[in-house]
């Protein structure tokens, strides 16, 4: 059994209470109205959830990746979409904390930790999804600036009024060694956005193309050294995969809780649904599968915290298993509600829609299989 420490349990309870009080009551409405709840996220940031594993000298909480997984799981019980965006924001803040110099850290991180500025991760392009090293957005040196030209696609949180973009752009030749990382702040001339995409789920956060048209960025906004960008991007994704897996666990738990409540109240053939053995077995299977996913996630997060040499393989395996399981559990919970599960007012169909994309982003689950397979072959 994976036992969480008392401090982590207290953090989990705080995040659960916040999710129950500030996210869950509005989740369906936010989904319907495509509302990005910045005010509520800033309330979460005031509780330490804007820079969960950012160092404390710039206002971060200085917690572990296991703590973060527990927090995002708890937040997702209120709304997977909001939790997922906050996880992306935290990933960006950590990348600045980890790879930026001290002047950059102190200039940028206080506003990120408070979520005064909302961060977006800009790696994917229209022609470079899973093959991220093939990105074509260029950054050409011009005196004390770099001039960026190109387009990023499927960028969560893009176009918000107080925005902050961590951008991977090509400063050198083809391949991963020609990529560098830049911070582009909202309002920079030459920065623009596509329309808010119409999506199956994740409607409470905007998703837009981010367009650079002779966008002049100070050279001082480069994070790390020239050519380090792909390494920085991939380092961020290890943690991002843990985070999005945690959102899957939390969302699936919320769906299962709704199914349990419904089965305890709904009558059929003179009995409550939860008195039928076939349904009891189905509920048991969903709970067992979800607990297995949760433990896999926690073990992978602990591996990250220990800096295990095979942590990337473990995280990739967890991301594949946990996000697939989370979707399947939520979908199974919807089935228990029958026709009511298909209605938006019960909130469960929203969870199913939200969790589906977790199998695609932060590296598709096909890529997760490839990472694990390559590690297995290399070790054999």
Residues belonging to the active site? 362
> With 0-12 CB in 10 A as exposed, 13-18 as middle and 19+ as buried, what is 161?
exposed
Check: CB of residue 23 under 8 Å from CB of residue 75.
yes
Q: What whole-number distance in Å separates Cα of residue 91 and Cα of residue 279? A: 40
Coil, strand or helix at 291: helix
Check: CB of residue 135 under 8 Å from CB of residue 125.
yes
Closest CA to 66 of 11, 14, 114: 11
Cβ neighbours around 347 below 10 Å, total: 17
> What's phi and psi for 221, nearest 5 deg?
-90, 5
Q: What whole-number distance in Å separates Cα of residue 87 and Cα of residue 83? A: 6
349 bridge partner residues: none
Pair type for strands 145-156 and 163-170: unpaired
Secondary structure of 297-364 in HEC code, one letter for each residue? HHHHHHHHHHCCCCHHHHHHHHHHHHHHHHHHHHHHHHHHHHHHHHCHHHCHHHHHHHHHHHHCCCCC
Q: What whole-number distance in Å separates Cα of residue 121 and Cα of residue 154? A: 10
């Amino acid at each position: 059994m994976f036992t969480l420490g008392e401090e982590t349990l207290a953090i989990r309870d705080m995040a659960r209470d916040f999710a129950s009080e500030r996210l869950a009551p509005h989740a369906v409405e936010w989904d319907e109205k495509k509302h990005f709840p910045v005010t509520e996220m800033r309330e979460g940031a005031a509780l330490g959830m804007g820079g969960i594993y950012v160092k404390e000298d710039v206002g971060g909480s200085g917690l572990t990746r296991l703590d973060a997984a527990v927090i995002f799981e708890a937040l997702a019980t209120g709304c997977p979409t909001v939790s997922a965006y906050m996880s992306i924001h935290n990933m960006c803040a950590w990348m600045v904390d980890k790879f930026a110099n001290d002047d950059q850290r102190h200039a940028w991180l206080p506003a990120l930790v408070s979520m005064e500025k909302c961060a977006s991760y800009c790696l994917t392009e229209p022609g470079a999804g899973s093959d991220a090293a093939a990105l074509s957005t260029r950054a050409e040196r011009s005196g004390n600036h770099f001039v960026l030209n190109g387009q990023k696609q499927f960028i969560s949180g893009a176009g918000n009024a107080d925005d902050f973009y961590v951008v991977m752009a090509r400063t050198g030749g083809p391949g991963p060694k020609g990529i560098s990382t830049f911070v582009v702040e909202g309002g920079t001339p030459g920065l623009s956005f596509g329309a808010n995409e119409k999506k199956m789920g994740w409607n409470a956060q905007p998703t837009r193309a981010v367009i650079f048209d002779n966008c002049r960025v100070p050279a001082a906004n480069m994070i790390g050294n020239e050519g380090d960008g792909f390494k920085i991007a991939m380092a961020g994704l290890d943690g991002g995969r843990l985070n999005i897996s945690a959102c899957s666990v939390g969302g699936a738990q919320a769906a299962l809780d709704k199914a349990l409540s419904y089965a305890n109240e709904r009558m059929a053939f003179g009995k409550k649904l939860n008195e039928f053995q076939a349904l009891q077995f189905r509920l048991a299977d969903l709970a067992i599968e979800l607990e297995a996913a949760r433990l896999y996630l926690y073990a992978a997060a602990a591996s990250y915290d220990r800096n295990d040499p095979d942590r990337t393989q473990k995280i990739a395996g967890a991301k594949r298993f946990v996000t697939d399981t989370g979707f399947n559990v939520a979908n199974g919970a919807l089935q228990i509600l029958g026709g009511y599960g298909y209605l938006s007012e019960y909130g469960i169909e929203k969870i199913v829609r939200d969790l589906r994309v977790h199998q695609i982003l932060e590296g598709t689950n096909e890529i997760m299989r490839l990472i694990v397979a390559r590690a297995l072959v290399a070790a054999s």
